[in-house]
Amino acid sequence: MRSYSWIPVVALLAATALSADVTGQFTTDKRPPIKPKYAAAFETRDQRDARKRAIEVVLSEEPVDMAAAIGALDPHTILINQKGLQDHNYILLWVRPGNDVSMNATYAATMTQFADFTGGRFNADIKTLTADTVAGHVWMSSGAKTMSGDTYSIDVTFSTPITHGPAATKLTVGGGEPGKALQLLLGAMSKKSWADIKGGVSELALQSLTTSDHTDQENLDEALSTLNIWLSKKPGKITGGELRGDTAILEMEGQIFEGQKALYLVKMVKSGPRWVFEAATPAGMID
């Protein structure tokens, strides 16, 4: 099996994904086929280069709740933890221009995954890739085999609307006032100032960073440990982001581990007149 790494204006859809046009199946010799009935799609970060975007297509046996996921920092994680995917098999496709597609077919009970991408026996003919619709055909010209000896193949045709996130305006380099607030928090972390860290995060974030029966020093130590997981250990430039009313999603470049840069998405929220930190996630690797 090939290696892979998977680690968002229109009105939101109703509670469940549209039952779009999906036919075909994914097959493997040791398991029942995956026969998706539902399709949904949204814009996400391209895991090959998180500065770019790709369209993630969800082909599932049961519907997913796109409305609950699309406004999140990481809609992908929200979706794969929904009952429609946790308890059922599914196929994920990442679609880029030029018939460049990656696939991950997942058997939910054992989290057995089959990954592939175009350029070999895995083929794609993406007939429509616009701002609002994605449609195409993916298939194997011949069966493939994993390192463990499982053979697999796919032949699926799909068409689905692309769900978009909340209306937003672009933030410039530095991130404006939300970016300044994030820099203040990073400075407080560097100085290990517990009072300034507490003042720089939302009530929701503070609940995740503290334990009521711990001392201030214990809470400081745990908060720094958690924030250094959520955020880059070596933060870099805030390259921009989106402003969604009283919420800002900042794009910050940093180092996910020694020698490897990543793009982080940082959620800042308005608390009275101030901007405060609420959550962050790595969006993917960058050069």
- What six digits make up the tokens of 159? 């068409």
- What's the distance, Cα to Cα, between the start and end of the chain in Å? 25
Please report the pLDDT score of residue 19 as a whole number: 41
């711990």: which residue's tokens? 214
Note whether 36 and 18 are within 8 A (CB): no
Query: In this structure, are strands 274-286 and 260-271 parallel, antiparallel, or unpaired?
Result: antiparallel
**Residues in a beta bridge with 60:** 38, 90
Longest CA span, the chain: 62
Please report the pLDDT score of residue 20 as a whole number: 67
Q: pTM value?
A: 0.88
In the chain, which residues have pLDDT < 70? 1-20
Residue type, 9: V
Please report the pLDDT score of residue 235 as a whole number: 78
Note whether 252 and 229 are within 8 A (CB): no
Residues 202-252 have pLDDT tens digits of 999 999 999 999 999 999 999 999 999 899 878 789 999 999 999 999 999
What domains can you pick out in the chain, each with its CATH number?
A: 21-163 (no CATH), 169-286 (3.10.450)
Q: What is the 3-state secondary structure (H, E, C) of the chain?
A: CCCCCCCCCCCCCCCCCCCCEEEEEEEECCEEEECCCEEEEEEEEECCEEEEEEEEEEEECCCCCHHHHCCCCCHHHHHHCCHHHHCCCEEEEEEECCCEEEEEEEECCCCEEEEEECCCCEEEEEEEECCCEEEEEEEECCCEECCCCCEEEEEEEEEEEEECCCCCEEECCCCHHHHHHHHHHHHHHHHCCHHHHHHCECHHHHHHHCCCCCCHHHHHHHHHHHHHHHCCCCCCCEEEEEEECCEEEEEEEEEEECCEEEEEEEEEEEECCEEEEEEEEEEEEEC
The crossing angle, in degrees rounded to 10, of helices 216-230 and 176-191 is 130
